[in-house]
Amino acid sequence: MKPEVRLALDRAADAVRRRTGASFPRVGVVLGSGLAGVSDAVASEVEIPYRAIPGLAGCTAPGHRSRLVAGRLPAATGPDLPVALLCGRHHLYEGHDADSAAFGVRLLGTLGVRKLVITAAVGAIRSDLHAGDFALLRDHLNLTGTSPLEGAEPGPEPRFPDMTRVWDPELSAALRRAGERTGTELSTGVYAGLRGPQFETPAEIRMLAAMGADVVGMSVVMEAIAARHAGLRIAGITFCSNLAAGISPVPLDAAHVNEAAARAVPRLTALLAAAASEPAFAGQLRCGTIPP
Ligand code: HPA
């Protein structure tokens, strides 16, 4: 990581610590387009606007709320899940560079989060995926042409981190079981991460399908690479807000993406809350201490 990013993270972590005290959840969730409503179910102990955290820009994308929420997500049965939610993310298409797109996730890692669920609305490419389906990520294609690990001096972290198992099978299995218990079936898929902001052409979607992509979006990969590099264990839950271009019978529309995702919030909320009863999350049911 670049030294200036490390410094910025330390300053941002100090600003959060001043609001939360030393105790902070060990589970984090990034809420993608239209999915910020999950935070409405959290009994929030702390809610910090991004503008109060140095280094964390406000979000310009529709359906992103620009706040960090730390609190407890209550489950219908079983224990609550202490979580830190990034309600809104930063995309390359907003003009952010790879470090800025990864800043929120790196901040969670700096604050002691060890397990992270990355959510996003996506277009469905694979023929058995439909609008309204959820898919867990089993791998990704970084087609953005950049990486948050670029830079002259990596410091103590590995220069060439292994990316064989970015998406954690154990966390993913736990989320799949939580989905089964709450009535939401989760498929699995490979995410193609593009820069956007234009949606894809039908020819690009055919190319992505040939490359092995099942779903497509404009986020996720910068966060995933930075999180793994920082040693976090991650799972990805994508919501198919639409069929991809050329498969969809109607033109794609960002307002529709957000509306469809917002309708999926109750299912996603129930699923995440139910994860607290899964062994993979059982060690995280107490807050940790923010590292000095
Ligand atoms: N393409 C890219 N990003 C998306 C899509 C899509 O079809 N749907 C939601 N995010």
Model confidence pLDDT, tens digit, residues 20-29: 999 999 999 9
Which structural domain range is residue 92 located in? 3-282
CB contact at 8 A, 186 and 192: no
Greater pLDDT, 33 or 227: 227
Task: Specify if 80 maps to a domain.
Answer: yes
Round the average pLDDT of the chain to a whole number and report it: 93
- Contact residues for 190 (Cβ-Cβ < 8 A; gap 6+): 137, 138, 139, 140, 141, 212, 213, 214, 215
Chain segment 40-94, per-residue pLDDT in tens? 999 878 999 999 999 998 877 766 689 999 999 988 788 888 999 999 999 999 9
Structure confidence at residue 63 (pLDDT): 63
Q: How confident is the model at residue 102 (pLDDT cuts 50, 70, 90)?
A: very high
> How many other C-beta atoms are found inside a 10 Å radius of the C-beta of residue 263?
14
Chain segment 149-207, per-residue pLDDT in tens? 998 766 778 889 999 999 999 999 999 999 999 999 999 999 999 999 999 999 999 99
Task: Specify if 287 maps to a domain.
Answer: no
Q: Which atom of ligand 1 is nearest to the CA of 244?
A: 7
User: What pTM, to 2 d.p., does this model score?
Assistant: 0.96
How far is ligand 1, taken at its centre, from the CA of residue 257, in Å? 8
Q: SS3 of 267, please?
A: helix
* Options 45, 150, 185, 200, the catalytic residue: 200
Structure confidence at residue 195 (pLDDT): 98
Write the residue with the smallest CA distance to atom 9 of ligand 1: 122
Chain segment 205-219, per-residue pLDDT in tens? 999 999 999 999 999
Write the residue with the smallest CA distance to atom 2 of ligand 1: 217
Task: Specify if 116 maps to a domain.
Answer: yes
Task: Specify if 288 maps to a domain.
Answer: no
Chain segment 111-161, per-residue pLDDT in tens? 999 999 999 999 999 999 999 999 999 999 999 999 999 987 667 788 899
Task: Specify if 291 maps to a domain.
Answer: no
**Looking at the 3D structure of the chain, how many domains does it have?**
1
- Segment 244-257 mean pLDDT: 93
Task: Specify if 227 maps to a domain.
Answer: yes
How far is ligand 1, taken at its centre, from the CA of residue 169, in Å? 25
Distances (CA, A) of 251 to 83, 105, 126, 146, 214: 36, 32, 18, 29, 19
Ligand 1 proximal residues by C-beta, below 6 Å: 121-123, 199-200, 216-218, 241-242, 244, 252, 257
Structure confidence at residue 285 (pLDDT): 80
Task: Specify if 289 maps to a domain.
Answer: no
Put residue 231 in one of left, alpha, beta given phi > 0 → left and psi -120 to 50 → alpha.
left
Structure confidence at residue 64 (pLDDT): 66
Task: Specify if 292 maps to a domain.
Answer: no
CATH number of the domain to which 107 belongs = 3.40.50.1580
Q: What percent of the chain has pLDDT over 90?
A: 82
How far is ligand 1, taken at its centre, from the CA of residue 114, in Å? 28
Q: How confident is the model at residue 37 (pLDDT cuts 50, 70, 90)?
A: very high
Write the residue with the smallest CA distance to atom 6 of ligand 1: 123
Structure confidence at residue 282 (pLDDT): 79
- State yes or no: is 185 an active-site residue: no
